Structure 1
Amino acid sequence: MSIAEFIRNEVDTNEVVLFMKGSPQAPACGFSAQVVRILDHLGVTFKSHDIYQSEELRRGIKEHSDWPTVPQLYVRGEFVGGCDIVTEMFQSGELQQMLSTQQAVH
């Protein structure tokens, strides 16, 4: 399986996926930590992938989304955005609405 196929499979088969620096328990940058805090605050169950575990994954996720930075949040197969976008959506209530309509909040 190519890295592109792996990413597509992860995005398509998991309701909420976060590609980040580090892990939810030990984020390796403030931006990843911020997105994890938001998802945890909302009670969202999500799968994460540490882009530092693979140079191929680090490059592949940026190509997949055509977005130059990490973290990257996906909900139901769709790219939501990075830290700034996720934070803005959280503050406006748009993220909560997206997640609740997608059955992602448990």
Structure 2
Amino acid sequence: MPHFLIHNKQDNVGVAITDIRRGEEIEGVYIEDMSQGPKLKALDEIPLGHKIALKDIRQGEFVIKYGRPIGSAIRDIRMGEHVHVHNVKSNRWSKWKNP
């Protein structure tokens, strides 16, 4: 059973569909076609509905969800880390520009 969903094949984050525990080996699924997504190790506790990094995201790179940039990383984010307000600046406030 998957632990997170990926909305679009270009996304670099997935959304937890269960509470994820630090150190847990988890897997995702692409909701476009229900194909198997990546398997990775959670580096943080990730609550239901929150985002997880599917790859390393460098400071200043866009965070991609739904195939579109939703924010920019304000620091390096490692694959398996919790992605939230502590490491992402919303594009809603930055007018779609990198920080």
The TM-score with structure 2 as length reference comes to 0.30
Which structure features the higher share of helix residues?
A: 1
The TM-score with structure 1 as length reference comes to 0.28
